[in-house]
A and B are shown apart, each in its own frame.
Chain A
Amino acid sequence: MAVETTAPAQAPALRLLRMTLNGRPVELEIAPRELLLPVLRDRLGMKGAKLSCDVQVCGACTVLLDGVPVSSCTTLAYEADGKSVETIEGLAHDGRLHPIQAAFIECGAFQCGFCTSGMILSTKALLAETARPTRDEIAAYLSGNICRCTGYWNIITAVEDAAGRLAGDGEEEGA
């Protein structure tokens, strides 16, 4: 239960949050009321996830929790305890873009880029589940990620392209 409070009335005890962030173990103290998005952005410096609607509609704040897409704007940081969290910052390795990132660039799948981190992470979850989704399946899966710029066509094309890259279609591509 909560510690005996001296200072701010009813502030409950802090808890230890242990998670893996982009492959690295991270440990920090959190208050129960802290949301995952501000913890990632303001305390851990991961600015790729964006705050937009704040009500689980737009997907700009999407990160992966044990591989599953969540709205970090409306997920308590508490939920990440013992889990792996993946943000857009974790995708490129040794200066090499992830194949999904490369596909988004090559297909012109973004303009302002505000939705892009979320789009790419949702795409990663989709392709882990369905290696070769149809355009309809892509549209359905990404329907909770809103883009105000592109009109979606190029995004869907980029996801198809990324699926091909991940399946090794392009051989030497992306070096």
Chain B
Amino acid sequence: MLGQFDICRPGSVAEASAVVAERGDDAVFYAGGTELLILMKERLLEPALLVDIKTIPGLDAIALDPGGRSLLLGGLATHRAVERSPLVREVLPELAAMETAVANVRVRHAGTLGGNLCFAEPHSDPATLLIALDAAFTLASASGARDVPAADFCVGFLTTVREPEELLARITIPLPGAATRVAYERFKTHERPDASAAATLTVDDGVVTDARIAIGCVGERPTRVPEAERALIGQAPSPDAFAAAADLVRDLVEPTEDPFASSDYKRHLARTLTLRALARAGAADGGTNGR
């Protein structure tokens, strides 16, 4: 049984943000509730007011920006909507494929991207892939909006740079160019992934000119591994180059020990998943780019 609380339904982002600013810790944004309601059942969180942001118009939109260079996902877009969006499947199929693996179909129907990212549970699939895609998150409040790079958003276990009254309104993903391929790999033994790796690889004339590698779920927050990225630049996209980068990932990630997986095991997973992601992003017929 849940504790007592009330629910309100603001009509705009400004109104929702003002309510949270005014009520302080008493009020929280409420989207799909897939994380929130579980915390509230356990009485780990006892807000007096849920600010239902699901009915604010337009926040669940999925579209291209007017120039067609970026994919825009509303913060209230559900996992299921992203997974099934014909647009996402066309312009960024790896994102749709990643969403297919999140949780189960009921959680995907209710759970939103904004809720996933703002909760900052370490085992988030979208957080990892969005970092590799160099996405930006728009945080909106009654007093304006600011953009935060995906890589700077989560700063620790369940902790982000978001202020309580800021609502994650939009995710902007620059679409990879024709020479760039994207791959996301995850492995799980329980409900959520134990480790995941996302890679983007730009290959020009047989040489890697740009690479991004993000590792998720093994530590307190998803992170890029710049040393491993740098090791790839200027190399041919070969198994040897990928193995060297994956070794660096294994050595440099900062795993948190948990009851299900030791640090060593998580390092091993991070290496293996990096290798798989790079192999797929590096293969001519593997990974996925834009159209």
A interface residue numbers (CB < 8 A to B): 1-2, 8, 10-13, 31-33, 35, 54-57, 59, 62, 68-71, 74-76, 78, 122, 125, 140-141, 143-145
Taking A31-B4, A54-B41 as known contacts, 19 extra A-B pairs with beta carbons closer than 8 A to each other, sorted by chain A number, are A10-B48, A12-B6, A32-B7, A33-B4, A35-B2, A56-B38, A56-B103, A56-B104, A56-B106, A57-B191, A68-B109, A71-B106, A75-B37, A76-B33, A122-B105, A141-B105, A143-B104, A144-B104, A145-B104
- Once A143-B104, A144-B104 are accepted as A-B contacts, the answer to whether A74 and B2 lie under 8 Å apart by CB is no
Q: Is the CB of B41 within 8 A of A33?
A: no
In angstroms, Cα B50 to Cα A68, docked, is 23
Q: CB of B244 within 8 A of chain A?
A: no
Chain B hits for A69, CB < 8 A: 105-106, 109
Chain A hits for B1, CB < 8 A: 33
Q: Is the CB of A57 within 8 A of B104?
A: yes
Chain A hits for B103, CB < 8 A: 56, 144
Q: Is the CB of A70 within 8 A of B106?
A: yes
In angstroms, Cα B6 to Cα A141, docked, is 34
Q: Is the CB of A144 within 8 A of B106?
A: yes
Q: CB of B56 within 8 A of chain A?
A: no
B219 to chain A, nearest CB (A): 24
Chain B hits for A145, CB < 8 A: 104
B81 to chain A, nearest CB (A): 11
- Once A32-B6, A70-B110 are accepted as A-B contacts, the answer to whether A75 and B33 lie under 8 Å apart by CB is yes
Q: 26 A–B contact pairs at CB < 8 A?
A: A1-B6, A1-B8, A10-B48, A11-B4, A12-B5, A31-B4, A33-B1, A33-B2, A56-B34, A56-B38, A56-B103, A56-B104, A56-B106, A57-B191, A59-B104, A59-B106, A68-B109, A69-B106, A70-B109, A71-B106, A74-B37, A75-B37, A76-B7, A76-B33, A122-B105, A144-B106
- Once A122-B105, A144-B106 are accepted as A-B contacts, the answer to whether A8 and B34 lie under 8 Å apart by CB is no
* A74 partner, pick from B4, B38, B50, B191, beta carbons under 8 A: B38
Chain A hits for B50, CB < 8 A: 32
B99 to chain A, nearest CB (A): 13
Chain B hits for A8, CB < 8 A: 4
Chain B hits for A31, CB < 8 A: 4
In angstroms, Cα B110 to Cα A75, docked, is 9
A63 to chain B, nearest CB (A): 10
B interface residue numbers (CB < 8 A to A): 1-8, 33-34, 37-38, 41, 48, 50, 100, 103-107, 109-110, 191
In angstroms, Cα B106 to Cα A69, docked, is 6
In angstroms, Cα B109 to Cα A125, docked, is 12
Chain A hits for B37, CB < 8 A: 35, 74-76
In angstroms, Cα B5 to Cα A31, docked, is 9
In angstroms, Cα B100 to Cα A32, docked, is 32
Among B8, B33, B41, B105: residue with most chain A CB under 10 A: B105
B27 to chain A, nearest CB (A): 12
- Once A55-B38, A74-B38 are accepted as A-B contacts, the answer to whether A10 and B107 lie under 8 Å apart by CB is no
Chain A hits for B34, CB < 8 A: 56, 74
In angstroms, Cα B7 to Cα A74, docked, is 16
B51 to chain A, nearest CB (A): 12
In angstroms, Cα B33 to Cα A11, docked, is 21
Name the CB-closest residue of B to A141.
Answer: B105
Q: Is the CB of B5 within 8 A of A32?
A: yes
* B4 partner, pick from A10, A57, A78, beta carbons under 8 A: A10
- Once A55-B38, A74-B38, A76-B33 are accepted as A-B contacts, the answer to whether A2 and B107 lie under 8 Å apart by CB is no
Name the CB-closest residue of A to B7.
Answer: A32
B41 to chain A, nearest CB (A): 7
Among A33, A68, A69, A71: residue with most chain B CB under 10 A: A33
Chain A hits for B104, CB < 8 A: 56-57, 59, 143-145
In angstroms, Cα B104 to Cα A122, docked, is 11
A55 to chain B, nearest CB (A): 6
